[in-house]
Amino acid sequence: MKPATFRVWRGNQGGGEFRDYRTEIGEGMVVLDAVHQIQAESASDLAVRWNCKAGKCGSCSAEVNGQPRLMCMTRCADLPLDQPVTLQPMQAFPLIRDLVTDVSWNFAVKQRIKPFKPRPADAPDGTWRMQQADIDRVQEFRKCIECFLCQDVCHVLREHQKHEQFIGPRFLVHVAALEMHPLDTEDRLPELQQAYGIGFCNITKCCTVVCPEHITITDNAIIPLKERVVDRFYDPLKRLFRRLLGRS
Amino acid sequence: MTERQTFEHDVLVIGAGGAGLRAAIEASAGGGKVGLVCKSLLGKAHTVMAEGGIAAALANVDARDQWQVHFADTMRGGQYVNHWRMAQIHAQEAPARVRELEAWGAVFDRTKDGRILQRNFGGHRYPRLAHVGDRTGLEMIRTLQDHGIHRGIDVHMECTIVQLFKDGGRVVGALGYDRERGRFRLFRAGAIVIATGGIGRAFEITSNSWEYTGDGQTLAYDAGADLIDMEYVQFHPTGMVWPPSVRGILVTEGVRGEGGVLRNNLGKRFMFDDIPDNYKAQTADNPEEGWRYTQGDKQARRPPELLTRDHVARCIMREVKAGRGSPHGGVFLDIAWIKDKLPHAAEHIKKKLPSMYHQFKELAGIDITAVPMEVGPTTHYVMGGIRVDPDSQMSTVPGLFAAGECAAGLHGANRLGGNSLSDLLVFGQRAGDHAARWAKAHGGGKVDEAEVAAAERAMLLPMDRASSGGENPYAIQHALQKDMQALVGIVRNEADMLAAVEKLQQFRARAAKAAAPGNREYNPGWHTAMDLHCLLTVAEAIARSAASRKESRGGHFREDFPDKSATFGKLTTVVRRGGDGSMQLEHVPVPKVPADLQQIIDENQK
């Protein structure tokens, strides 16, 4: 056991400040353990969102020493404990209190995305046939635990606040999982170009870096979607054909 | 009282894990107005942590599987104190519920011919668990969530329900608070479905998240409903034991399904030493046969590591107590050894058990493809809960339904792995359906304003007490968890359990002094203080039920009565709230299995 200082943001929309809490760090402790210990010892109303404490639910997202992280998967031993550890809420979303932000925008965005629409069943018993090789990519996207760290780090949302025009990396991954699902028959390319705002992403790959599930968001999800959009809407030959056929 | 919001629904579903989401989807199918309340954000419920798979006799991997075998396996695993009708419905309907998930977008791992792949699991005769690597729960909850949000369901996120209200004997309303702002919310409804999950937070070492404080069981109990089988708590044999801060986090049974073996500090596979008689015929008697089973050899019998969870947990405890444990008080679970059998074993392990690899690497600094894990039992699941009608899932209180872990009957004295996710789907669907019908037939009712106002005042007491000192709610919770672990844990005896009942009375007195400084805005201290009532209620139900069962069976093991008793094997323990507010207990007969189903059980004994 050795003591460490956690410099935790305390406050709400009305304002706040960083406050220092000193607590003992035992072997194997993660940052979320330290927060719980601080709660139990000296700040019972310290607001923090968490559930599984095993990196599976994506609730305890925050910024640890400025890095978007799951607090349950950040080991204290991996941080320089000779100086205070800074804990603050995700910056891309409105603050509720302390380390808890209002992430309801994300849930509203998902509602706007066209849902899964399967082709008719392949077999008389109502089931489908899919090869493992054809679903590996979709399964990668479906590992997403919706921690929203990728949304937090995305400069389109974080700095430019384009929440109205851009759905963010999480939901581009969601769209990719639907678009690349072998059974899906829906067409989401017009929305990707317009309402989902895929053009705002300029592939800085920050989302991929912070993803705790190691989903290759940019390379495997966003870039292929961008290619599909370009192919559909910006291919000069196709544009010509569309014009000749009188379609906009 | 200030700022109370009121909502009207035909059906209110409390809890948004697998059962709650499935119930809400079904209830909305008939066009009714459905509310779905969750204590966390949508999609974060404990279902997300389920790893191994969904048990359903799809027979995709072994054509010999059928619902009758699944039924018989469930009854045997439950030590024949299950409600036969629930076990029958569950086995019959699980395949349709799994296929339905695929129609809603779930992407299960595949067989070579492109169908849903199924894996081996403890207590299941054939490979039966539809799965996605070791993150099946995430796949399931996300599929239900993404389907459900387009069904017109009103979702109330981060809202905790604290009390139900009745009108003329039937349930018509619920009161809670939103965690974000601490505002009160009153829900009026024609029917209410409880799907709040389990009670793991009543114990010190648990795989369960903070939400698992027995809310649903307590809401139902306080409303006058019967709880049954509360002595049957499942201690999962393999939780992490080191480092201390991750103690209890689950290590999926899938590790053993993929060939992982348990060893003591002498390097011995101790599970071969103790194979119960009723499983001898279907258990391998040598390591080679066990390995062949895990690799899909249909002629081989399963390795003893895949015996039922209650048994494996006790064998591990025995090794630890005898001084043959691992350095941190567990035993060794070794999957790395399969490199002797398979080329590219490390890649194979990472592919089959990605979250386990990740979990040990990041939380313990251990590479499971190279060295064994240290594991020990962890509180995982409660077989007992709200007594329900097997077909409709209605509790003993009219208009109040329950589904999933908070309901009881399906699993008897011990749940088989994989039978939980299928339970959520099968009975979530039924509860939603029947609740919608009930609401249509009966409409809403009158919620008594005085009762609501009294409940609101009670909720504010912990904050009122803060100015005059009072007790730290976290300290009370931690002490309660420690005592339950020590006194009503894996190995029980009469004196300990009576001491626990006594201590719980003292904890009640302390909880009545719990204080929460701060205001109502996202205040975890206040939330913890309010959760204490639920934890204490389920803890008392467990301790009293366990003390009353003078035998060992399934998850309930007593060192003073280490054997099964024919008498108790015919009895189900019931607790309910008496007129004076004290907990009443009685034993009622276990429902008798009809002759045709008994024949199925007997035929599958072989």
Residue A234 has pLDDT above 60, yes or no: yes
Over residues B386-411, the mean pLDDT reads 98
pLDDT, mean over chain A: 95
Contact B236, B250 (CB under 8 A): yes
Can you tell me the mean pLDDT for B13-28? Answer: 98
User: Which tokens is A36 given?
Assistant: 């719980």
For the stretch B496-542, pLDDT in tens is 999 999 999 999 999 999 999 999 999 999 999 999 999 999 999 99
Does the CA dihedral A87-A91-A96-A100 come out positive or negative?
A: negative
The domain defined by A2-101 folds into Ubiquitin-like (UB roll) (3.10.20)
Orientation of helix B136-148 relative to helix B419-442, angle to 10°: 20
> CB–CB of B87/B70 below 8 Å?
no
For residue range A118-175, list pLDDT tens digits in order.
999 999 999 999 999 999 999 999 999 999 999 999 999 999 999 999 999 999 999 9
Distance CA A8, CA B271 (A): 48
Q: What is the CA radius of gyration of chain B?
A: 23
Shared domain check, B492 and B367: no
Confidence of residue B306 (pLDDT cuts 50, 70, 90): very high
**DSSP notation for A30-67:** BHHHHHHHHHHHT-TT-----S-SSSSS---EEEETTE
Q: What are phi and psi of B557, to 5 degrees?
A: -120, 125
Residue B306 and residue B452 in one domain: no
Same-domain pairing of B502 and B559:
yes
Q: Please report the pLDDT score of residue A47 as a whole number.
A: 98
The helix or strand, by DSSP H or E, that contains position B309, with its residue range, turns out to be: helix B309-321
Q: Please report which confidence band the pLDDT of residue A247 belongs to, taking 50, 70 and 90 as the band edges.
A: low
Residue B251 and residue B239: Cα distance in Å, rounded?
5
Q: Is residue B167 part of a domain?
A: yes
Q: Which of A42, A53, A39, A84 is nearest to A66 (CA)?
A: A84
Whether residue B359 lies within 8 A of chain A, CB to CB, comes out as yes
Residue B1 has pLDDT above 80, yes or no: no
Query: Is there a single domain that holds both residue B398 and residue B365?
Result: no
Q: Determine the average pLDDT of the residues in B148-168.
A: 97
Same domain, B36 and B146: yes
If asked whether residues B225 and B247 sit together in one domain, one would say no
Please report which confidence band the pLDDT of residue A238 belongs to, taking 50, 70 and 90 as the band edges. confident
Q: Is B556 a catalytic residue?
A: no
Clarify whether residues B492 and B368 are in a common domain. Answer: no
Which segments of chain A does DSSP mark as H helices, in order? 31-41, 104-112, 132-141, 149-153, 155-158, 168-179, 189-193, 206-210, 223-233, 236-244
- Do residue B46 and residue B149 come from a single domain? yes
User: What global pTM score does this model have?
Assistant: 0.95
Closest CA relative to residue B235, chosen from B55, B422, B488, B17: B488
Residue B110 in any domain: the answer is no
Is ipTM beyond 0.85?
Answer: yes
Q: Do B522 and A100 touch (CB under 8 A)?
A: yes
pLDDT of residue A248: 52
B334, B360, B377 — which closes off a domain?
B377
> What would the mean pLDDT of B322-336 be, rounded to a whole number?
96
- Residue matched to tokens 């607590």: A23
CA B605 – CA B213 distance, rounded (Å) = 37
Longest dimension (CA), chain A: 75
Residue B596 lies in a domain: no
Cα–Cα distance, B420 to B310 (Å, whole number): 15
- For B423-447, what is the mean pLDDT? 98
Residue B136 clears pLDDT 60, i.e. is over it: yes
What is the reported pLDDT for A12?
Answer: 96
In contact, B460 and B2? CB cutoff 8 Å: no
**Tokens 């965005």, residue located:** A109
Sheet holding B571-577, edge to edge: B407-408, B385-387, B227-228, B571-577, B583-589
CATH number assigned to the domain comprising residue B520: 3.50.50.60
Is B236 one of the catalytic residues?
yes
- B521: in domain: yes
Sequence-ordered alpha helix ranges (H) in B67-181: 67-77, 84-103, 136-148
CATH 1.10.1060.10 is right for the domain spanning A104-237: yes
Contacts of A39 in chain B (CB under 8 A): 474, 524-525
In 3D, which of B69, B25, B41 has the Cα closest to residue B416?
B69
Which of B38, B40, B44 is best to mutate for the A interface (most A CBs within 10 A)? B44
Query: Taking CB atoms and an 8 Å limit, are B211 and A135 in contact across chains?
Result: no
Give the separation between CA A162 and CA A167, rounded to whole angstroms. Answer: 9
B366: domain CATH number is 3.90.700.10
Collapsing DSSP states into helix, strand and coil, what is residue B576? strand
Q: Answer yes or no: is B61 within a domain.
A: no
- CB-side neighbour CA atoms (13 Å) of B492: 34
Q: Which range of residues forms the domain containing residue B429?
A: 1-54+134-182+195-232+383-579
- Chosen from A32, A56, A75, A107 to mutate, greatest number of chain B CBs within 10 A: A56
- Which of A52, A135, A170 is best to mutate for the B interface (most B CBs within 10 A)? A52
Amino acid code (one letter) for B216: G
DSSP letter (8 states) at residue A81: T
| First-residue to last-residue Cα distance in chain B | 64
Instruction: Give me the helices (H) in B18-66, please.
Output: 18-29
Min mean pLDDT across A58-62, B31-35, B351-355, B431-435 is at B351-355
Per the structure, the count of domains in chain B is: 2
Write down the residue that tokens 């399904």 correspond to. Answer: B257
The per-residue pLDDT for range B43-73, each reduced to its tens digit, is 999 999 998 899 999 999 999 999 999 999 9
Q: Are residues B510 and B403 in the same domain?
A: yes
Q: How far apart are CA B57 and CA B74, in angstroms?
A: 12
Both B561 and B495 in one domain: the answer is yes
Q: Which of A63, A93, A86 minimizes the C-alpha distance to A158?
A: A93
| Residue count of chain A | 248
Return the residue matching tokens 């035993």: B331
* Contact: A47, B362; criterion CB under 8 Å: no
**What residue spans of B443-523 are helical by DSSP H?**
449-465, 473-487, 494-511
Residues of A in contact with B44 (CB under 8 A): 51-52, 57-59
Cα radius of gyration (chain A) = 22
Which is catalytic among the residues B9, B236, B302, B556? B236
Quick one: B424 and B486 in the same domain?
A: yes
| pLDDT of amino acid B245 | 83
pLDDT tens digit string along B191-236?
999 999 999 999 999 999 889 999 999 999 999 999 999 999 999 9
Q: Compute the nearest-CA separation of A111 from chain B (Å).
A: 6
Half-sphere exposure at residue B456, Cβ-oriented, CA atoms within 13 angstroms: 18
User: What rounded mean pLDDT belongs to chain B?
Assistant: 96
In a domain, B332, yes or no: yes
**Residue A83: its pLDDT value, please?**
97
Kindly state whether residue B457 falls inside one of the protein's structural domains: yes
User: Which runs of consecutive H residues, i.e. helices, occur in B200-308?
Assistant: 215-222, 254-257, 277-280, 287-294
pLDDT band at residue B243 using 50, 70 and 90 as cut-offs: confident
pLDDT one-digit tens code per residue, A72-86: 999 999 999 999 999
Q: Kindly report, residue by residue over B563-581, the tens digit of the pLDDT.
A: 999 999 999 999 999 999 9
In this structure, is residue B333 part of a structural domain?
Answer: yes
Instruction: Give residue A4's pLDDT.
Output: 97
Among B328, B346, B377, which residue terminates a domain?
A: B377
**In Å, how far is B498's CA from the nearest CA of chain A?**
29
Domain ranges of chain A: 2-101, 104-237
| Bond into B243 cis (ω within 30) | yes
Q: Does B346 touch chain A (CB under 8 A)?
A: no
The pLDDT score that the predictor gives to residue B2 is: 59
Q: Are residues B151 and B48 in the same domain?
A: yes
pLDDT for residue B389 is more than 70: yes
For the cut 90, the answer to whether the pLDDT of residue A244 exceeds it is no
Q: Domain ends where: B377, B392, B417?
A: B377
Is the pLDDT at B299 greater than 80? The verdict is: yes
